[in-house]
Structure 1
């Protein structure tokens, strides 16, 4: 007598696909959690090389408390540092991975300077809001962790020779980082966020095109 057995195995599939949002973020749009955006930062020309090589140093205080102050409005960035001749300024073009964002849109907001302590990575002041100290009405952001900011280019520098030199340093700095060993891609928003898959436990990069696992 021959016995035949039929075994049915259930396979559970899980996975995800990452998509990059290439739409330009308007001044009135609130930054989305985890996305990267183009922003700008104005600083003293004499500090530019140090910032490129060592990264940004967060301010100790400000309208939104400690952090690195940036804006997606280049005209606002051109104003800084205040009361400094434009020949002594440089404006960097940045890519900012905003993380979790808190909107601060009024004077004496309860989280105006405590947003990071409440679990946020970035504070955002919308344009034309009711904060009295921002007379220009231009939006601005404060990023807690400088590692969320990558310098992409020199947006403004009136000295052509210095602009060329700074751009060369930026390219050298970006090129020295290499590729992400998980997704094999370079990014303006480095380092890439590495985490474990919630199903299979495999270490993955949130920017890799796909991840699939079977159980």
Structure 2
């Protein structure tokens, strides 16, 4: 079999990567109808007499609505959390997985790299999704909304890396959006964007720090297998 040719820049990143963090948006979508879920939270808040700002009231982001609910009180926050949680758990039973996901996870395992999933969704919904697709044994920590809400308004992946004990220079975060790539680069980690899952290649390029963009998870899986971490190669000599 002809060895896979990996672009030097991507190979350089993978050579230093011992830990892989997958942002959930590269795997799947547990809120396929965000406007509807945001609407349920909005209606719940309005029914209690809570007054929404024009900006929040016109929005369709469930997580913005959740944050608004918690500003109105702990009880309303928990009620909003339950509405979003129920929608996520329901979606977890039927949401498809991005092609190439299993190949990437197996490539990470074969090359001795740890894998963490980081999601804005409830931990139980993420766990159900991974179990549904038979992926849970291939993943280490799965950090969900509980973790994210302990670090609100954070524009860097640093808390994620700290929680798993990974050095930024040895960690690659696989992203589907430019905002996630930027947060990764601000933490000093390597950002690998996957084009056309959420955003096109031209939107993923740029920013500061170490980054690369790949065509698909399948392509990244092949590159991961072809480029074992330098620590692993050194140990085998």
TM score, norm. by length of structure 2? 0.23
- Which structure: greater helix fraction? 2
TM score, norm. by length of structure 1? 0.24
Q: Name which one, 1 or 2, has greater alpha-carbon Rg.
A: 1
